[in-house]
Structure 1
């Protein structure tokens, strides 16, 4: 039996169909989109059999002709249910342009929810983009920032709802001051509801960053309750004011301010995390942010069904995205997209900054190419005096950075500053002693990744970090690609290393070595 709160919203969506009802494939309903156009769904009503009747309309997105509509921001994960009770997650029928067609259950449920809340024109990616047409999908994703920026409202769909989330939202709607008073007087129930919303996986979804930050207006739909994003965010801000940081003093309290408050996705709150959240807000808020810096600040927004979307979801937020990502490509393999992006970053910027995002991966990638599907922390140096010391090296000529035609080999000039003499056991023992609290992933100290005897500590032209290189036959590979190994090096903790001791100095002075050419794969 359905929960009465679901019934209030006409949920769960259960159209009554006779057995053997024929349907048209969704892909056969679509008509080609003209350049600059998007599809919108007009919700027209419910038929006697409970089937939602809809119409697809094509609208041109132009600065002077913006149609009125709500965009849907949600997770595709069917396990993240939208109703209080259990329900069948099989695809559901709707009427679309006169055709009876099946759509994902979650999309159908959201359309029914929007209809109950009097939204009559909606954009939802699962239906408004022909997901079986890679070319159309690429074109529409390239327009995604305009789609969300042009909407009257972004509808944030959270689930699962519960008595706890209901109680929390009711308090917010009653009076934010009353909610804060109850938070102090009897916090347990309120905290439980608040935590259920704050820790929802929606906030780690890759596309959330763009969809909320570009919203003109945003509302959160959770079960039978609706609350403005602004109200929710202000409560969140107020409850965490004990973090005495400018992170919570951002003047803009609209959806954009949210970006200041979740950069790490860390459940703990301290000044360092708050500071980074604040910086994230500024990074996205300004239009002069580079794509690599944006990726560095927002790495915890990583959940996506397609790994390419970790890059594409930032497309509309960085000032150099169209240069580094000239096209949205769903036809090439994920590895090809990641390799091409890394190569463009290096060749167009004359910098090796992108290699500091690399990490151990199961993908078939060169060691200098980052796997953007991983939430792993970058290992860019946090020690400014060491960066300055590396930058004082006198190189012969400008950076000579070359990438092979197949994007597999990076050729760069560099210097070997030291060859490691410590054993694997000694380095691992140092990690266990000093860095186990960092909860470095197990892959960080696997035999293939940990710097070991015979590896080189090197400076590379165009890179502000020292790197670990290992020779394999006639080429080299990057190892030690986790922040813990950089920390060991920079704090003077790397066993048996003179360079590590120098790096730990307040004003490190590095002695240049012979310039060599490295082929890194």
Structure 2
């Protein structure tokens, strides 16, 4: 449920905002000038202990100088009655966290100008909030710098920030680290630090050591400060989705925690190198203790030492996004084209690299907090509108994405058998389906639409509950088999049943006349269908590709393992052991094939009325139609409704039509209306 602004005394809002509302995306913003502590001290009691501020209008086109503040804050945060903030002379209710960040930004003798979301936007005015959130990308991009406030000093954060600063002082060229980070660069970085921070630096490749330094205890300090570093990298700030956009769009930034400050680029670079530095330091000391067993230092037991793994911390996962979206990097380093579909898929697809839980108080911000990163938000016609509820936002975004490409249909998780308040073609980013193949990659492995590619793709989304697109209906489902379930017992009974059912469908298909398949297809069909003609790319394990010879060989090895044929018994082997060796040998060869099959868990084999054999998702049923929208890389199963519209059941794999074969010979074009 979307959060609403809590009931409060709104007199201060009238005083600050209503005289000059900001309801147009024309660059108009408000800036907050925080008066110095010296100025506050000169005020009479009780305002001498308050934070005094001035709120004024500005326009981004005039290049105002200000600091954008990125911090942990929600509209629903409880007000701290003991904290006093005066803005244009009026008391403004603030939470403890908001007061702390204003106090941190306040200077001793000079005023400072900031943009801070909590005060510079009137969150009670829905229209103003919508237009101002639409400008957040420009606000952070044009700010002189961004203050990233992690909160007050707790859990040893001062020590953690000091260690990061110390490592940062020894870092290599930032551009080299960002553009060319490799394990070798990491090792060089570690040696550079250790040679300057340790009395016993590690030996180089020739066994020589570097000169001693003035910091002999740095290695030991790395051990003691690890809990503090982990706590720092797991602060609540790193779990908010807005942090990704605010950090990614900031050209310059300062990370502040308590009274410690570090440049954002330094913090980011050192954070990425922590695992290398800490783990290699541990190994170095273990080697040193092994060479000198009489050393008074206690030897390190590597068997009980957990490897450092900061790469999985919330901070590193957020900071890693900065490299994808930074606009101030050279064009050959950054990726200039980041469409919204790619970004949403990256964050929400199950099992994707970028997928990690990021918090939003308002469910609409699942989309709005990422819009500023999208290169096509303007052309899509999507902008924040807090007058709409979450379901309206989903419908609007899905319709906008589908006007460009049918690929979002692969992400829909609403089958015809699922109760849902959304149309079947709407993508719910909280309940995303994993596509058979990469739904957003340009080098997609399938091209089922064939010659009727994106040039012929047209969609009408004028009806809020329907979309209409051109395509062709291939066939209707005749028979559906059982869903494949991976056998965890090791007996492979589920595998044997799954392959047997596909073989039966294939034999029924090829026995019919005319069969849709040729003799050449028969040679590979039974190997390709169980894995949907997909295998994991060995060079990039997060990508898939069409099956290769190794997959076909794996299928034959799997058949051999399942056949339970026993070779002749030798003199030194029992039949049971010989049979076990035979099965184990072939299963080892079929490992990759079984891994590819595991991706098909929950999918059902099916046979169509004209003899096509394929695989469909759990909701597939007899009499469902198989259709290919123009421009779609894959076919879909659709279920006809009483009003002659279709409900989307889901993506399907159909052997023999995944490369446009059917689209080259079909003669009937259909207007497919999805509801």
Cα separation, partners in 2 of 1:408 and 1:515, compared to 1, 3 Å:
closer
Which whole-Å CA distance do the structure 2 matches of 1:183 and 1:420 have between them? 70
Q: CA deviation at 1:147?
A: 1.2
Q: Does 1:293 align with 2:293?
A: no
In 2, are the aligned partners of 1:356 and 1:379 still within 8 Å (CA)? yes
Q: Does 1:459 align with 2:517?
A: no
Which whole-Å CA distance do the structure 1 matches of 2:475 and 2:325 have between them? 35
Q: Does 1:214 align with 2:249?
A: yes
Instruction: Identify which of structures 1 and 2 has the higher relative contact order when contacts are C-alpha pairs closer than 8 Å and 6+ apart.
Output: 2
Cα separation, partners in 2 of 1:72 and 1:397, compared to 1, 3 Å:
closer
Cα separation, partners in 2 of 1:381 and 1:130, compared to 1, 3 Å:
same
Q: Does 1:477 align with 2:531?
A: no
Q: CA deviation at 1:128?
A: 0.4
Which whole-Å CA distance do the structure 2 matches of 1:203 and 1:327 have between them? 25
Structure 2 counterpart of 1:335, from 363, 371, 391: 391
SS in structure 1 at match of 2:270 = helix
In 2, are the aligned partners of 1:73 and 1:157 still within 8 Å (CA)? yes
Which whole-Å CA distance do the structure 2 matches of 1:155 and 1:322 have between them? 28
Aligned ranges for residues 64-463 of structure 1 at < 5 Å?
Answer: 65-77=62-74, 92-115=83-106, 120-159=112-151, 161-176=153-168, 177=170, 181=194, 187-239=222-274, 267=312, 285-299=334-348, 300=355, 303-347=359-403, 349=404, 351-359=405-413, 364-372=421-429, 374=430, 376=432, 379=435, 381-382=437-438, 387-394=445-452, 398-416=456-474, 419=477, 421-423=479-481, 426-428=483-485, 450-454=618-622, 455-463=624-632
SS in structure 1 at match of 2:395 = helix
SS in structure 2 at match of 1:163 = coil
SS in structure 2 at match of 1:426 = coil
Which whole-Å CA distance do the structure 1 matches of 2:619 and 2:446 have between them? 24
Which whole-Å CA distance do the structure 1 matches of 2:254 and 2:106 have between them? 15
- Provide the residue aligned with 2:528 in structure 1: none
Which whole-Å CA distance do the structure 1 matches of 2:147 and 2:250 have between them? 10
Structure 2: gaps spanning 5 or more residues:
1-8, 172-189, 195-216, 278-309, 349-354, 489-493, 496-593, 603-616
SS in structure 2 at match of 1:365 = coil
SS in structure 2 at match of 1:40 = strand
In 2, are the aligned partners of 1:366 and 1:409 still within 8 Å (CA)? no
Q: CA deviation at 1:398?
A: 2.5
Q: CA deviation at 1:303?
A: 3.1
Which whole-Å CA distance do the structure 1 matches of 2:319 and 2:113 have between them? 38
Which whole-Å CA distance do the structure 2 matches of 1:510 and 1:185 have between them? 65
Which whole-Å CA distance do the structure 1 matches of 2:453 and 2:410 have between them? 21
Cα separation, partners in 2 of 1:69 and 1:356, compared to 1, 3 Å:
same
| Cα distance per residue 1:93-128 (max 9 Å; x no partner) | 321111123134332221112116877212111110
Which whole-Å CA distance do the structure 1 matches of 2:639 and 2:402 have between them? 21
SS in structure 2 at match of 1:73 = strand
| Cα distance per residue 1:274-297 (max 9 Å; x no partner) | 999976678994444333233334
Q: CA deviation at 1:79?
A: 11
Which whole-Å CA distance do the structure 2 matches of 1:437 and 1:165 have between them? 47
Which whole-Å CA distance do the structure 2 matches of 1:478 and 1:128 have between them? 44
Q: CA deviation at 1:468?
A: 3.6
Across the two proteins, how many residue pairs are aligned to each other?
Answer: 438
Which whole-Å CA distance do the structure 2 matches of 1:328 and 1:116 have between them? 34
SS in structure 1 at match of 2:483 = helix
Cα separation, partners in 2 of 1:406 and 1:385, compared to 1, 3 Å:
closer
SS in structure 1 at match of 2:479 = coil
Which whole-Å CA distance do the structure 1 matches of 2:446 and 2:597 have between them? 29
In 1, are the aligned partners of 2:459 and 2:467 still within 8 Å (CA)? no
Which whole-Å CA distance do the structure 1 matches of 2:140 and 2:388 have between them? 26
Cα separation, partners in 2 of 1:227 and 1:312, compared to 1, 3 Å:
same
Cα separation, partners in 2 of 1:72 and 1:395, compared to 1, 3 Å:
closer
- Provide the residue aligned with 1:38 in structure 2: 29
Cα separation, partners in 2 of 1:275 and 1:319, compared to 1, 3 Å:
closer
- Provide the residue aligned with 1:56 in structure 2: 55
Which whole-Å CA distance do the structure 2 matches of 1:41 and 1:440 have between them? 55
Cα separation, partners in 2 of 1:170 and 1:384, compared to 1, 3 Å:
closer
Which whole-Å CA distance do the structure 1 matches of 2:160 and 2:432 have between them? 33
Instruction: Mark the structure with the bigger radius of gyration.
Output: 2
Which moved further from structure 2: 394-403 or 289-298? Answer: 394-403
Structure 1: gaps spanning 5 or more residues:
1-21, 81-86, 243-264, 443-448, 490-498
